Amino acid sequence: MTARVLRRVAIFVVSVLAASIVVFLFMAVLPGDPAQVALGVNATPELLAKTRAEFGIDRPLVTQYFDWIGGVLHGDFGRSYVTRDAIGPQLLDRLGVTLWLVGAGMLVALVIAIPAGTFAAVKHRKASGAGVSGLSQIGVAIPAFLAGIILVQIFAVQLRWLPSGGWTPPDRNAGEFVRGLILPALSLGLVQGAVLTRYVRSAVLDTLGQDYLRTARSKGLRPGQALVRHGLRNASVPVVTVLGLQLATLLIGAVVVERVFVLPGLGSMLLDAVSARDLLTVQGIVLVLVVGVLLVNFVVDVLYTVLDPRLRGS
Amino acid sequence: MKARIPAVAAVLLLAVSGCSAGSSASVSAGPDTLSVGFTAEPANFDFTRTDGAAIPQALLYNVYEGLVKLDAQSRIVPLLAKSWTVSPDRRTYDFQLQQGVRFSNGAPFTAEDVKFSLLRVKKDWTISIKSTMDVVDHVDVVAPDHARVVLSKPSNGWLFSLTSRLGAMFSPTGVGDLATKPVGTGPYVVAARKRGDSVVLKANPAYWGRKPAYSTVVLKYIKDPTALNNSLFSNGIDVISAITAPDSIPQFQADDRFQVVQGTTNSEVTLAMNNVRPPLNDVRVRQALTYAIDRKALLDTAWAGRGTLIGSMVPPTDPWYEDLSNVYRFDPARAKALLSEAGATNLNLRLRIPNLPYAVSAAQVVQSQLADVGVRTTIEPLDFPAVWLKQVFTDHDYDLSIIQHVEARDITTFGKPKYYWGYDSKRVQQLLAEADSGTPEQQVADMKQVARQLNTDAAADWLFLLPNVVVAKTKVGGFAANQVSESFDLTGLAPR
């Protein structure tokens, strides 16, 4: 098991380095001089040269890359060309917001999907089970931003129960923080919940047909007890796979939801940096997102090993 | 096992909670707190080195003050200068300064700071509008409360520029880190910022003038117009600084919780024509296009019928304003006649616009109306600002464009042949120069001539003037209807 995890760690590190090179080169070949963009249209050649030197973009690409990645490894992402702020602390701050959003969205999705999917599987021959399946089909078809707009109209604009957007950090006012997170988390989580419900249903259905469940029931356990004691752990393996894949889509959904709910997360930071041609910031954000997705894959891989003993030997 | 997966999620949630700590900006609402929503967020706080309207909108008159300011009727009124006199040759300005003024870092404000600030524009500023200060020859410190500015030639434009960010007063001890730590003499200081969310201003306890009515003002930045409106509807903010979705105004008018204040701006939405490139270097073609466009219909489509038809580069708040909107009355037959007279049939023009909502909807009207007189146009939306600035503004690679020109008194751009209009008229250049150096009466007369000449030459088609529409809760008062300065001036706002 240790060897397997170590191999995964090695793959993870190599992937991150490869990704950093790709991101860096991609930004380097993009048209547009960051100094020109930062200084505006009437900047003098002398000032442009001075600013390029100040940004360090007048040096060879290889030097720039090693400086950048060397800094990143020490947690220093450089200073933004546009805001003149250190990028690293900004990234961490914005990442916090996005992770809260994704985490809360995932929680909502799981709270919906596990009972609903299990219910739909156990009652798959009954109308109630088919009803839950049907509802999940509708949920899958609704994009997160539309769910967000509808939720805002009902709960913020009409009923005025919850804020329509904005962010309160949890350490300042926990109540406001939770109130502000409810609608974004719901709009992200409802759709994800619908997607996951279908996977949970098919995974549980699969498990229900297995011999060991029949054995468990023949020992006198009721169907529900048999499922909880012996089935769910097995059913969770494919669900965790999907969960990992879905986490990446959840990150992308979060970008859109952040715009709808005016949350200062990574997604809105990325959109702003792109429109301001703030390349160093874009570079940093993309790297963090890529590492995030790779990290999820890594964790899913390790979780398999924990959940499914058969994989430990391999 | 069933419980483990949600538990993992919960642990993840707890693990990240540390990341967002210590970075708060918005504050809990109270009667002394006002929240104002804006669409464009300042990239940083340094308007001496960063272009754009968002920074002076937040900081000018609120955090930074100049010797003079612009009131809502576009008049130049005293601020840090109690009064001033102009010499008979119009080159020497003597400013008597307010006493007991301090910067927010504690340094006293004196004539030395006036000298430092005015000369610093030439030396350290990098934004394009700084050239208006080139006319300053030298500054004398006559006494701590008396600064004398000597110009190399008379300039009315210079005194007017002092009302903009160019006139902001800085302390030599307060310019170390302008991008993150603004130090001014204004009624507010920047207390906190949360990037992507808000800037918090707190009343400056040591302010020399009248204390502002709100001790805390939260500037909330919400890019999406619908989200901005929703925030006002759901009590997230108290004021929308400027409505960018005009279709939503009736919704606010129908609700007693809100008031709608409408006035004018300096923002001319202009159909720019490339005056140096055929076929638009022919005045008859430019006139034909101007006759071919029904500007009333266009305003209805592009800005819900709100806004003013002006027919020139002059907003109604400038002293030399004349309504020239009827000179080219909508007349497709006349347009066709002019086009055939110019031999410009079978035209195919590139309409390269910024990818902004008002420009896109106006471009579609322009396209269909020009098609009615036989002129084909290809609409090319360009990413704004980066691509539009590069290709249209800098490289002049366009036939037609549609863009709002927001700067005050930007009619002077028609005096620069290298500007992207490509308009080159010796008469206009001479009139502009005379207007700048003459008495205020001469200035008004000359500027009227400039506007008429531009109109005759159809140097551009001024489609309409953007309105200023502020929507606020009824309990907030003191709004100026017109938005004529660079500042969103918070100092007059008060509960009512």
pLDDT in tens, B431-474: 999 999 999 899 999 999 999 999 999 999 999 999 999 999 99
What percent of chain B is predicted at pLDDT more than 70? 94
Q: Which residue has the higher pLDDT, B388 or B444?
A: B444
Instruction: Round the average pLDDT of chain A to a whole number and report it.
Output: 84
Question: Between the CA of residue A288 and those of A30, B10, B246, what are the distances in Å?
Answer: 20, 22, 39
pLDDT over 90 (residue A29): no
pLDDT band of A306, cuts 50, 70, 90: confident
Looking at mean pLDDT, say which of B55-64, B353-362, B380-389 comes out highest.
B55-64
How large is the average pLDDT for residues B247-274?
95
Listed in sequence order, the residues at least 6 apart from B335 whose beta carbon sits closer than 8 Å to its beta carbon are B288, B289, B291, B292, B373
ipTM of the complex: 0.81
Q: Which of B18, B128, B236 sits opposite A40 (nearest CB)?
A: B128
Query: What is the mean predicted confidence (pLDDT) over B423-434?
Result: 96
CB A79 within 8 A of CB A87: yes
Q: Using CB atoms, pick whichever of B46, B128, B227 lies closest to residue A42.
A: B128
Q: What is the pLDDT of residue B19?
A: 36
Percent of chain A with pLDDT over 70: 94
Relative to beta strand B347-354, strand B33-38 is unpaired
Structure tokens at B116: 């430092």
Q: Are A281 and A34 in contact (CB under 8 A)?
A: no
Q: Are B110 and B208 in contact (CB under 8 A)?
A: no
Instruction: Mark yes or no for CB contact B197/A85 under 8 Å.
Output: no
Reduced to 3 states (helix: H, G, I; strand: E, B; else coil), residue B438 is coil
Average pLDDT of span A85-112: 92
The pLDDT of residue B300: 95
Residues B451 and B313: beta-carbon distance below 8 Å: yes
Mean pLDDT on A257-279: 86
Q: Is the pLDDT assigned to residue B178 strictly greater than 80?
A: yes
- Higher-scoring residue by pLDDT: B266, B386: B266
Chain B residues close to A85, C-beta within 8 Å: 44, 179-180, 195
Task: Give the pLDDT score at A138.
Answer: 86
Q: What is the pLDDT of residue A246?
A: 81
Which residues, 6+ apart, have CB-to-CB distance to B180 below 8 Å?
A84, A85, B44, B45
pLDDT of residue A139: 83
Nearest to B16 among A96, A152, A262 (CB): A96
User: Is the distance from CB of B227 to CB of A262 less than 8 angstroms?
Assistant: yes
Q: Name the minimum distance, in Å, from the CA of A222 to any CA of chain B.
A: 17
Looking at residue B20, what is its pLDDT? 36
Residue A1 has pLDDT above 80, yes or no: no
Sign of CA dihedral A297, A303, A308, A312: positive
Report the residue from B24, B236, B393 with minimal CB separation from A163: B236
What pLDDT, on a 0 to 100 scale, did the predictor assign at position A225? Answer: 76
The Cα B93–Cα B112 span in angstroms is: 15
Using CA atoms, how far residue B442 sits from B76, B286, B320, in Å, is: 18, 30, 10
The pLDDT-based confidence of A314 (bands split at 50, 70, 90) is very low
Q: Is the Cβ of B2 closer than 8 Å to some Cβ of chain A?
A: yes
Query: If you write DSSP's letter for every residue of chain A in order, what string do you get?
Result: -HHHHHHHHHHHHHHHHHHHHHHHHHHHHSSS-HHHHHH-TT--HHHHHHHHHHHTTTS-HHHHHHHHHHHHHTT---B-TTT-SBHHHHHHHHHHHHHHHHHHHHHHHHHHHHHHHHHHHHTTTSHHHHHHHHHHHHHHHS-HHHHHHHHIIIIIIIS--S-SS----TTT-HHHHHHHHHHHHHHHHHHHHHHHHHHHHHHHHHHHTSHHHHHHHHTT--HHHHIIIIIHHHHHHHHHHHHHHHHHHHHHHHHHHHHHTT--SHHHHHHHHHHTT-HHHHHHHHHHHHHHHHHHHHHHHHHHHHH-GGGG--
pLDDT band at B2 (very low <50, low <70, confident <90, very high): very low
DSSP state of B102: B
Pairwise pLDDT comparison (A173 vs A47), residue with the higher score: A173
Q: How many CA atoms lie within 13 A of A2 on its CB side?
A: 0
Residue A237 or B481, more confident: B481
- At B317 the pLDDT is 94
pLDDT score, position B491: 93
Q: Which residue has the higher pLDDT, B281 or A313?
A: B281
**Residue scoring higher pLDDT (A304 or B44):** B44
Count the neighbouring beta carbons within 10 Å of the beta carbon of residue B138.
12
The CA–CA distances, whole Å, from B424 to B115, B240, B428 equal 36, 40, 8
Q: SS3 for B296?
A: helix
What integer pLDDT is reported at residue B320 of this predicted model?
95
Q: What is the structure's pLDDT at B427?
A: 97
Give the residue on A whose Cα is nearest the Cα of B48: A39
Asked if pLDDT for residue A256 goes beyond 90, the answer is no
Q: Please report, for residues B248, B404, B411, the alpha-carbon distance to residue B320 in angstroms, rounded to integers and kept in the order given.
A: 33, 20, 11
- For residue B13, name the pLDDT band (cuts at 50, 70, 90): very low
| CA atoms of B148 and B141, how far apart (whole Å) | 6
Task: For residue B382, give the nearest of B401, B395, B364, B399 by alpha carbon.
Answer: B401
Q: Which residue of A has its CA nearest to B387?
A: A32
Contact A285, A269 (CB under 8 A): yes
When mean pLDDT is compared across A52-66, B266-280, B425-439, the lowest value belongs to A52-66
Q: Which stretches does DSSP call E strand in B39-105?
A: 68-70, 76-78, 81-86, 92-97
Mutate to test the interface with B, among A33, A47, A50, A83 (most CBs of B within 10 A): A83
Task: Say whether B20 and A169 touch across the interface (CB within 8 A).
Answer: yes
3-state secondary structure of B308: strand
Name which residue leads in pLDDT, B461 or B22.
B461
Q: Does B413 touch chain A (CB under 8 A)?
A: no
Rounded to whole angstroms, the Cα distance separating A163 from A161 reads 7
Per-residue pLDDT, averaged over A3-27, amounts to 86
- How many angstroms separate the CA atoms of B124 and B120, rounded? 6
**Residue in the structure block whose two tokens are 């200060």:** B133
Determine the residue among A36, A50, A172 to mutate to test chain B binding: the one whose Cβ has the most chain B Cβ atoms within 10 Å: A172
Asked if A166 and B220 come within 8 Å (Cβ–Cβ), the reply is yes
Mean pLDDT of A147-152: 90
Higher local confidence (pLDDT), A253 or A47: A253
pLDDT computed for residue A238 by the predictor: 79
Cα separation of A201 and A186, whole Å?
21
**B279 preceded by a cis bond (ω within 30 of 0):** yes
Query: With a CB-CB cutoff of 8 Å, which residues 332-351 of chain B face chain A?
Result: none
* Chain A interface test: which of B8, B14, B19 (most A C-beta within 10 Å): B19
The structure tokens 């990098």 sit at B126
Can you tell me the distance from the alpha carbon of B475 to that of B238, in angstroms, rounded to the nearest whole number?
9
Which residues in chain B are contacts of A168 at CB distance < 8 A?
Answer: 24, 26
- Write the pLDDT tens digit of every residue in B26-53: 444 678 999 999 998 998 999 998 877 8
Please, what is the average pLDDT of chain B? 91
Q: Answer whether B227 sits within 8 Å of A99, measured CB to CB.
A: no
Given an 8 Å threshold on Cβ–Cβ distance, is B13 in contact with A104? yes
- Which of A32, A111, A166 faces B197 most closely, judged by CB atoms? A166
Q: Are strands B92-97 and B460-473 parallel, antiparallel or unpaired?
A: unpaired
Reported as type and span, the H/E element at residue B440 is: helix B440-456
Contact B13 A107 (CB under 8 A): yes
Between the CA atoms of B459, B463, B465 and B471, what dihedral angle is there, to the nearest 10 degrees?
-150
Residue B16 confidence (pLDDT) above 80: no
- Assess whether pLDDT exceeds 70 at residue A251: yes
- Across A130-150, average pLDDT: 86
State phi, psi for B204 to the nearest 5 degrees. Answer: -80, 110
Average pLDDT over every residue of B393-418: 93
Q: Which of A51 and B368 is assigned the larger pLDDT?
A: B368
Nearest C-alpha in B relative to A43: B126
Handedness of CA A136, A141, A144, A147 (dihedral sign): negative
- For chain A, say whether B107 makes contact (Cβ under 8 Å): no
The pLDDT, as a whole number, for residue B4 is 42
The answer, as to whether pTM is greater than 0.95, is: no
- C-alpha span between B130 and B47 (Å, rounded): 11
How far is B315 from A126, CA to CA, in rounded Å? 71
Alpha-carbon distances, residue A261 vs A144, B224, B361 (angstroms): 12, 10, 26
Residues A180-236 pLDDT 10s = 999 999 999 998 899 899 888 988 888 888 888 778 778 877 777 777 777 777 777
In chain B, residues 197-226 whose CB comes closer than 8 Å to chain A = 197, 220, 222-224, 226
Q: Given this model, what pLDDT does residue B182 score? A: 96
How confident is the model at residue B31, as a pLDDT? 81
Mean pLDDT of B199-224: 95
Alpha-carbon gap, residue B163 to B76, rounded angstroms: 7
Q: State the pLDDT at residue B24.
A: 36
**Angstrom distance (rounded) from CA A40 to CA B402:** 20
Of B24, B196, B235, the CB nearest to A172: B24
Q: If you measure CA to CA, which chain A residue comes closest to B25?
A: A168
Residue B342, H or E segment: none
